[in-house]
Amino acid sequence: MKLNLLPSSVSKGKQTQTAIVLSALIAVIGIVGAVGMISASRNERANAINEAENARPRAELAASTSKYADEVISQARVILININLAEAMKNHNTVYPDLYDEVRRYIPAFYRVTSMQATPGGADTTVVTMNGVLASYQQYADLMLALYRIPGAQTVSRTGYQYTSPFVPGLTPVDQTGRPVAPGQGPIPDDPLARLDYFIAQGTVTGFTGTGGFGTGPGVRGAMPGESAVTVSVVLQRNSQTPNPRATLAGIGSVAPPAPGGFPGAPPAGGGVSPAGAPAVPAGRGGPPRDRFDEE
């Protein structure tokens, strides 16, 4: 049997020396790398600062030009509002004629219209009021259904119909037969002589009456005998409000004239040199040319 009586530190001495050498090399390499990175970052920072300084004049010119453009737009606000108002008024000239043409296509032939008027009912509604003549109660019922066919119709209301169709009244001592009579008429007697007197009393017209304006010359023709003048109101989902020139122009504030010398940052009148790297401004002009609108 062979015994190793030497301590363990004797056999690991070489390994310890090797580890120390490697640690020293790694430390040196780390220091060299850190120094190189610090130097490279300083160079990049210096280059970035130089680029920012070189770009500063162009950025300042762009900012001043943008500010001048905002001032020009602000000064032209009155002109733009006037142009938009004129365009809105021009476009509104055809709103009501187009609305009348659209509604007219849905008016049934049995409804003889004498007048039509459209008025704004709000920001998104328009009320169309029509006056016309109907001849029967069935037409009075059909008219409402026909007008609901108008695109955007929300409600349809009607008034003025006078019921003129004959009806059979209840039996009375005078009339035991139940003869049809018109609204407002009394019962027709059964006795022949009394019935004759009844019909004679009904014939009260002795001359020309001109009912409904017929036969009286130019003018609107109203309801003939047996017809009714009916007013219809249709609420449509339309915006027919007229532009308000007074309110629009009252909202225009005072516009300050442009400052002498043009936009900020421009060279003074009489000549000068533009910032480095920026386009040159001709001598004697402190900014973009002004037109006649700038004087207003």
pLDDT in tens, 197-235: 888 888 777 778 788 888 888 888 888 888 899 999 999
Indicate the length of the chain as a whole number: 296
| CA 216 from centroid of its chain's CA atoms | 49
Tens of pLDDT, residue by residue over 47-101, are 888 888 888 888 888 888 998 888 888 777 888 888 888 888 898 899 999 999 9
What stretches of 148-225 show up as alpha helix (H) in DSSP? 192-202
Q: What is the dihedral of CA 132, 138, 140, 142, to 10 degrees?
A: -100
The DSSP annotation for 22-52 comes to HHHHHHHHHHHHHHHHHHHHHHHHHHHHHHH
**What is the average pLDDT score of the chain?**
79
Please check the confidence at residue 265 and state whether its pLDDT lies above 50: no
Query: Residue 285 above 80 pLDDT?
Result: no
Token duo for residue 42:
């300083």
CA dist 115 and 55 (Å) reads 73
Q: What is the pLDDT at residue 181?
A: 86
Give the end-to-end CA distance of the chain in Å, rounded to a whole number.
Answer: 119
